[in-house]
Amino acid sequence: MAEGEFALVRQHLEIALGKTAAWVGEHDLYAMLADAAAQQRDEAALRQYAPLAEEAATRYDHKLYQAIAHRAWAVAHRLAGEYAEAEARLNQALALFQGLDTRWQIGRTLFELGELAQAQKDAAGARDYFSRALTFFEAMGATPDEARVRTALSAD
């Protein structure tokens, strides 16, 4: 998602926070905002929305949104150089996504683990995580995600 696209998504989601609708709650919007911020690597937005997403997901015991919040926190921690915290959050997210059998989310989380390994100068670990993510994306035909992983693999 391009930076301008994120600004538009964020703008629309933030407007929606002020409105009520029967089909969407704040927990939905906070999860989307945290996830979009993670995809954009926007640390300020992550610090704003990850705690809100986590609190709402926990309140409703919403496992998918809890996993999304863990992954968002992990990206924030990685960007801040807090690698142990990032790894713990990613492993929590991965376990939840695996329990839900959400293959695309599993692939995205494996990709984030690859990014974390790369940040820690662990080329072998990064390659392993990226390769595992690619397997999930190829099986689903998630072409944009496949391309992003292939780019990461070729950068080693």
Q: Model confidence over 35-68: pLDDT tens digits?
A: 999 999 999 999 999 999 999 999 999 999 999 9
Quick one: which of 24, 72, 70, 67 has its CA closest to 48?
72
Q: Is residue 28 part of a domain?
A: yes
Q: Is residue 95 part of a domain?
A: no
Verify that 119 and 75 share a domain, yes or no.
Answer: no
Instruction: Please check the confidence at residue 146 and state whether its pLDDT lies above 90.
Output: yes
144 three-class SS: helix
| Structural domain that includes position 131 | 102-156
> Quick one: pLDDT at residue 18?
64
Q: Is residue 91 part of a domain?
A: no
Residue 115 pLDDT class (50, 70, 90 cuts): very high
Structure tokens that stand for 96 in this block = 């939840």
Verify that 78 and 117 share a domain, yes or no.
Answer: no
Q: Is residue 144 part of a domain?
A: yes
Instruction: Please check the confidence at residue 1 and state whether its pLDDT lies above 50.
Output: no
> Quick one: pLDDT at residue 25?
77
Verify that 50 and 121 share a domain, yes or no.
Answer: no
* Range in 10-24, 35-49, 91-105, 124-138 with the lowest mean pLDDT: 10-24
Query: What number of CA atoms fall less than 13 Å from residue 140's CA on the CB side?
Result: 18
Structure-model confidence comparison of residues 132 and 20, the more confident one = 132
Verify that 9 and 45 share a domain, yes or no.
Answer: yes
Verify that 60 and 30 share a domain, yes or no.
Answer: yes
Tokens 């919007």 map to which residue?
29
Say whether pTM exceeds 0.85.
Answer: yes
Verify that 76 and 6 share a domain, yes or no.
Answer: yes
User: Number of folded domains in the chain?
Assistant: 2
Instruction: Please check the confidence at residue 132 and state whether its pLDDT lies above 90.
Output: yes
Quick one: which of 86, 85, 73, 82 has its CA closest to 114?
86
